[in-house]
């Protein structure tokens, strides 16, 4: 199993990845280099960042990415609540026909990322991204998923699902933003670290990989406004150079996560992640004490630079190019 498959398996679970999944994904990302296991906080962040580059078979809409972001005028955080409330009021009024349980949600996604094998690399704004097209089908009841492998359609039972990638589950979510936020905090509990970052990411993935009913979609935007550090930029630009509205939050002081919306209808267009500061990933992190056994003695592990990224570098970008409800896997709208 390659590292993308490992991450796909971990990402499709209802809680932050299990220790076993973290170890498998981390081993792939570190090119199976033998070293002591890093602390959970680093593993969670590294897995979340890398897993973002994997689209799981699910949901719906259109997105564009790359470009814009840092350097654009950004509204103060206090105004984010005003704008997100306006967005919620608009999407709640949209026309919507819910899919039947036995129908499928088809998504075609363009993914631009740095791919696998980040070990010893320094990424800059000039580093080219790899572009791939992903197609996925998900039954509305969440019981089956379909995807293309080697030009052939494969369908599987995905096992346990979460609202991000199951229509029936997102349709059952609370429409009260406080209750919705509490629900996501319970589903995606994180011990330590920046929980609001994890919840913002899960809300973003829900918009990306699903077709939420208007009431639930409105609740998501209202709940986002309650997270710390959320800002909006009504002068952003998407991957195709079109005006866009960006809802964003900075993770770990260097990675800006954005949800990109149509500036008029607020329809979801896509998602991107951009470095807003220079960053180095080390194992163990500076200031952390990790020990290993050598010659029968416990000795500290020196910090090693794994990879680095320069300010202004697009980490990854998703463009949802086609979305629709169809009657069977393999069918397109």
Residue 30 has pLDDT above 60, yes or no: no
What whole-number distance in Å separates Cα of residue 238 and Cα of residue 272? 9
The percent helix, strand, coil of the chain (3-state, each to 5) is: 25, 30, 45
- Give backbone dihedrals phi and psi of 83, rounded to 5 degrees, phi first: -65, -45
Question: Strand 104-113 and strand 243-251: pairing?
Answer: unpaired
Whether the per-residue pLDDT at 136 is higher than 80: the answer is yes
- In this prediction, residues 164-190 reach a mean pLDDT of 94
* pLDDT band with cut points at 50, 70 and 90 for residue 311: very high
Percent of the chain with pLDDT over 70: 77
Per-residue pLDDT, 9? 39
Sequence length of the chain is 333
The per-residue pLDDT for 292 is 86
In this predicted structure, the answer to whether residue 55 has a pLDDT above a threshold of 50 is: no
Which of residues 209 and 155 earns the better pLDDT score?
155
Token pair of 22, please?
């973290």
User: Using H for helix, E for strand and C for coil, what is the string for 245-274?
Assistant: EEEEEEECCCEEEEEEECCCCCCEEEEEEE
CB atoms < 10 A from the CB of 178, how many?
12
- Is the per-residue pLDDT at 284 higher than 60? yes
The Cβ of residue 66 has, within 10 Å, a number of other Cβ atoms equal to 20
CA angle 236, 241, 244 (to 5 degrees): 30
Question: DSSP 3-state assignment of 147?
Answer: strand
pLDDT at 47 over 60: no
Across the range 190-206, mean pLDDT stands at 90
**299/316 Cα distance (integer angstroms):** 37
pTM of the model: 0.76
pLDDT tens string 67-102: 334 444 445 554 899 999 999 999 999 999 999 999
């Amino acid at each position: 199993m390659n590292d993308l498959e490992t991450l796909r398996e971990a990402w499709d679970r209802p809680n932050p990845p299990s220790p076993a999944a973290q170890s498998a994904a981390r081993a792939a990302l570190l090119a199976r280099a033998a070293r002591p296991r890093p602390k959970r906080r680093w593993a969670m962040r590294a897995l979340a960042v890398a897993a973002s580059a994997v689209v799981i078979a699910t949901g719906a809409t259109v997105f564009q990415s790359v470009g814009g972001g840092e350097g654009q005028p950004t509204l103060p955080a206090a105004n984010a609540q005003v704008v997100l409330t306006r967005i919620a009021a608009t999407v709640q009024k949209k026309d919507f026909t819910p899919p039947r349980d036995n129908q499928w949600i088809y998504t075609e996604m363009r993914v631009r990322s740095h791919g696998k094998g980040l070990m010893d690399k320094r990424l800059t704004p000039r580093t080219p991204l790899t572009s791939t097209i992903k197609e996925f089908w998900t039954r509305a009841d969440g019981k089956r998923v379909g995807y293309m492998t080697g030009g052939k359609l494969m369908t599987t039972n995905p096992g346990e699902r979460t609202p991000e990638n199951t229509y029936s589950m997102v349709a059952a979510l609370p429409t009260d933003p406080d209750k919705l936020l509490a629900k996501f905090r319970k589903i995606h509990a994180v011990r330590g670290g920046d929980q609001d970052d994890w919840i913002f990411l899960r809300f973003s993935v829900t918009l990306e990989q699903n077709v939420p009913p208007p009431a639930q979609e409105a609740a998501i935007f209202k709940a986002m406004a309650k997270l710390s550090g959320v800002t909006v930029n009504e002068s952003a630009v998407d991957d195709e150079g079109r005006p866009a509205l960006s809802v964003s939050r900075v993770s770990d002081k260097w990675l800006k996560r954005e949800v990109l919306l149509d500036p008029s209808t607020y329809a979801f267009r896509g998602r991107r992640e951009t470095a807003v500061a220079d960053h180095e990933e080390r194992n163990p992190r500076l200031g952390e004490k990790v020990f290993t056994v050598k010659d029968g003695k416990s000795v500290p592990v020196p910090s090693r630079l794994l990879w680095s990224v320069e300010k202004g570098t697009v980490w990854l970008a998703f463009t949802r190019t086609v979305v629709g409800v169809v009657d069977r896997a393999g069918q397109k709208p």
